[in-house]
A and B are shown apart, each in its own frame.
Chain A
Amino acid sequence: EVQLLESGGGLEQPGGSLRLSCATSGFTFSTYALTWVRQAPGKGLEWVSTMNAGSGNTYYADSVKGRFTISRDNSKNTLYLQMNDLRAEDTAVYFCAKDNSLHYFDFWGQGALVTVSS
């Protein structure tokens, strides 16, 4: 059974940093792209970042480019999102998702809430 479990969310002040983790199981982690998608309260889905498997190529939404860094540890089957210089508009539930490598998402975690507020 494929499982993804996010952690590391919480309350942070504007300008601060947080690191999200996504622990996975049930699939061969090293062979799939992985993605972060966020959802602001009461709003729709917004793609944030994707990291490919073999090449390790990374992609970012313009809204987070230069502030967020996606990474993965294939030995721990874990995906990360380092979020720096946080802004109020980064407040959202952050989902990690297994990317089928054609870049739609066939399994999702339950999400981690990030709140940016002073």
Chain B
Amino acid sequence: EIVMTQSPGTLSVSPGERATLSCRASQNVKTNLAWYQQKPGQAPRLLISYASTRATGFPARFSGSGSGTEFTLTISSLQSEDFAVYYCQQYNKWPLTFGQGTKLEIK
């Protein structure tokens, strides 16, 4: 099983600042990596696929990068609606696996 490890567990950032979230895979997943955003009481929402392809509805301040085992989600200038939990997921190999999540909170 490919283990996905996200860091940090919680990230405190002020509105307008940049946030950088990390996701590490225990094996090479190429660019078969997705990011999801989840707000309290809501379903997750696809944010990024193929490590860097932004989903419809998300603004350009969200960007993804990386390949192999190291991935990064960057939010360039945080807005109030961006504070949420973010999960990475690999889809290179069964079983599909998620990271444990990074909670992005207002500083």
- Asked if residues A59 and B94 are in contact (CB atoms below 8 Å), the reply is yes
B65 within 8 A of A: no
B98 and A45 form a contact (CB under 8 A): yes
A59 — nearest CB in chain B belongs to which residue? B94
Given the known inter-chain contacts A44-B101, A45-B98, A47-B96, please indicate yes or no for A104 contacting B49, CB distance below 8 A: yes
Residues B98 and A46 in contact, CB atoms below 8 Å apart: yes
Q: List residues of A (9-38) whose CB comes within 8 Å of B's CBs.
A: 35, 37
Judge whether A108 and B44 touch: CB under 8 Å: yes
The secondary-structure label for the interface of chain A is: strand
A-B residue pair count with CB separations less than 8 angstroms: 54
Do the beta carbons of B91 and A45 come within 8 Å of each other? no
CB proximity of B80 to chain A, nearest CB, Å: 23
Tally A residues with Cβ within 8 Å of B: 22
Contacting residue for A50 out of B36, B45, B96, B101, CB 8 A: B96
Inter-chain contact B100/A44, CB cutoff 8 Å: yes
Interface residues on B, range: 20 to 34
A47, B95: Cβ atoms closer than 8 Å: yes
A110 on the B face (CB < 8 A): yes
Contact A47 B98, beta carbon cutoff 8 Å: yes
Which of B46, B87, B95, B98 contacts A106 (CB under 8 A)?
Answer: B46
Q: Are B95 and A59 in contact, with the CB atoms below 8 A?
A: yes
Cross-chain contact B95 with A62 (CB below 8 angstroms): yes
**How many angstroms between the C-alpha atoms of A107 and B99 in the bound complex?**
19
Asked whether A103 lies within 8 Å of B91 as measured between CB atoms, the reply is: yes
Please report the C-alpha to C-alpha distance between residue A47 and residue B95 in the assembled complex, in whole angstroms.
Answer: 8
Q: Other CB < 8 Å A-B pairs besides A45-B89, A59-B94, A110-B42, 16 of them?
A: A44-B87, A44-B100, A44-B101, A45-B38, A46-B98, A47-B89, A50-B96, A95-B43, A95-B44, A102-B32, A104-B91, A105-B34, A105-B36, A106-B49, A107-B46, A110-B43
Interface residues of chain A, those whose CB is within 8 Å of chain B, are 35, 37, 44-47, 50, 59, 61-62, 95, 100, 102-111
